[in-house]
Amino acid sequence: MPELPEVETVRRGLAPAMEGQMIARAELRRADLRWPFPPDMAARLTGARVVQLRRRSKYILVDLDRGESLIIHLGMSGRMVISGLNAPHVPGQFHFDHPAVEKHDHVIFHMAQGARVTFNDPRRFGAMDLCATDKLNDHPLLASIGPEPLGNGFHADYLGARLAGRKTPIKAALLDQRIVAGLGNIYVCEALFRAGIHPGRMAGRISVSRIATLTDTIRATLLEAIEAGGSSLRDYRQANGELGYFQHAFRVYGREGAACVTPDCGQTVRRIVQSGRSSFYCPSCQR
């Protein structure tokens, strides 16, 4: 499932096609994805102008000039595909300079300036919903999410306070979206390696100085991944169809049995299973 860097990369890719533009027609090619679409979704979107695109955790938020926001979750295989971005506007004409619609193209936004933004999702684990923009913080999908790891609300004092006394492994704590938003298995593994912290260490037993290092490495890892366009695992693609490249910079994730990248370490990367998920780490570099 796409994590924060992948979702942020998609948001940035969608901006040229959608921000400041009107949705000339919203086309729903089925009644649901993971859940049913909200009532009259196509009519509520058609004719609306996109004020801005934002990201909250792993969700893309499309703020509209009608006072509503479209919430988009990519799920396991969902992707947003842009076509005809530079096509000339032809009033009343929506299907030009675009590839043929495919079987799993479930939602299509025909933008007034000629671009087409298509949500393709073979497994249909993605989701879309509409919510009043000023009520987004109360939406069930967003209400309990913690601070953004790239925002000012995420810092060593905050993380230390949230981890204090916790008897769960640090890996599980960082995956808890109530503590910090948007982190998933890949980037937690990578950040813990950079911070030198074993994924099984109890969250409440990490020193203040190491928590400070951890917050810095989480931020640095995410920024590096965004710059690389995310990680192309399984179905992920950027909005322009290109692959992400951060997987080429993995230091531990998916490298079980490979030599540790730390010079003169001499150990190999190991894998353990925590709460049904694989954790990759170096037994020498991470304590």
Are 39 and 97 part of one and the same domain?
A: yes
How sure is the predictor about 228, in pLDDT bands with cuts at 50, 70 and 90?
A: confident
Measured CA to CA, the distance from residue 202 to residue 104 in angstroms comes to: 43
Residue 149 in domain: no
How sure is the predictor about 109, in pLDDT bands with cuts at 50, 70 and 90?
A: very high
Are 175 and 104 part of one and the same domain?
A: no
**Is the pLDDT confidence value at 95 over 50?**
no
Are 109 and 173 part of one and the same domain?
A: no
How does the average pLDDT of the chain come out, rounded?
Answer: 90
pLDDT of residue 84: 85
Structural domain boundaries enclosing 184: 156-249
pLDDT of residue 87: 55
Are 35 and 72 part of one and the same domain?
A: yes
Cα 146 off chain centre by: 15
Provide the whole-model pTM: 0.89
Catalytic (active site) residue 242? no
Alpha-carbon separation of residue 55 from 14, 83, 92 (angstroms): 12, 22, 31
Q: What are phi and psi of 179, to 5 degrees?
A: -90, -45
CATH number of domain containing 176 = 1.10.8.50
pLDDT of residue 94: 47
Catalytic (active site) residue 122? no
Catalytic (active site) residue 103? no
**Is the pLDDT confidence value at 90 over 60?**
no
**Number of residues that make up the chain:** 287
pLDDT of residue 270: 98
> For residue range 168-209, what is the model confidence (pLDDT) as tens digits?
999 999 999 999 999 999 999 999 999 999 999 999 999 999
Given the residues 2, 149, 169, 199, the one annotated as active site:
2
Given the residues 25, 49, 271, 277, the one annotated as active site:
277
Measured CA to CA, the distance from residue 285 to residue 287 in angstroms comes to: 7
Catalytic (active site) residue 11? no
Which tokens belong to 39? Answer: 């009532």
Per-residue pLDDT, averaged over 94-119, amounts to 87
**Is the pLDDT confidence value at 54 over 70?**
yes
Residue type, 255: R
Which tokens belong to 258? Answer: 């490979």
Task: Give strand pairing partners of 131.
Answer: 69
Are 178 and 87 part of one and the same domain?
A: no
Residue 244 in domain: yes
* Number of domains forming the structure of the chain: 2
Measured CA to CA, the distance from residue 83 to residue 119 in angstroms comes to: 12
| Beta carbons of 53 and 61 less than 8 angstroms apart | yes
**CB burial string 248-287: b at 16+ within 10 A, e below:** eebbbbebeeeebeeeeeeeebbeeeeeeeebbbbeebbe
Measured CA to CA, the distance from residue 161 to residue 167 in angstroms comes to: 14
Measured CA to CA, the distance from residue 45 to residue 74 in angstroms comes to: 19
Are 83 and 112 part of one and the same domain?
A: yes
Which tokens belong to 102? Answer: 């495919």
Q: What are phi and psi of 163, to 5 degrees?
A: -90, -15
Helix (H, G, I), strand (E, B) or coil at 57: coil
Are 160 and 134 part of one and the same domain?
A: no
Are 87 and 32 part of one and the same domain?
A: yes
Side-chain-side CA neighbours of 131 within 13 Å: the count stands at 18
Given the residues 55, 56, 58, 194, the one annotated as active site:
58
Residue 28 neighbours by CB under 8 Å, 6+ apart: 37, 41, 42, 106, 107
Per-residue pLDDT, averaged over 246-254, amounts to 77
**Is the pLDDT confidence value at 88 over 60?**
no
Measured CA to CA, the distance from residue 283 to residue 287 in angstroms comes to: 7
Residue 257 in domain: no
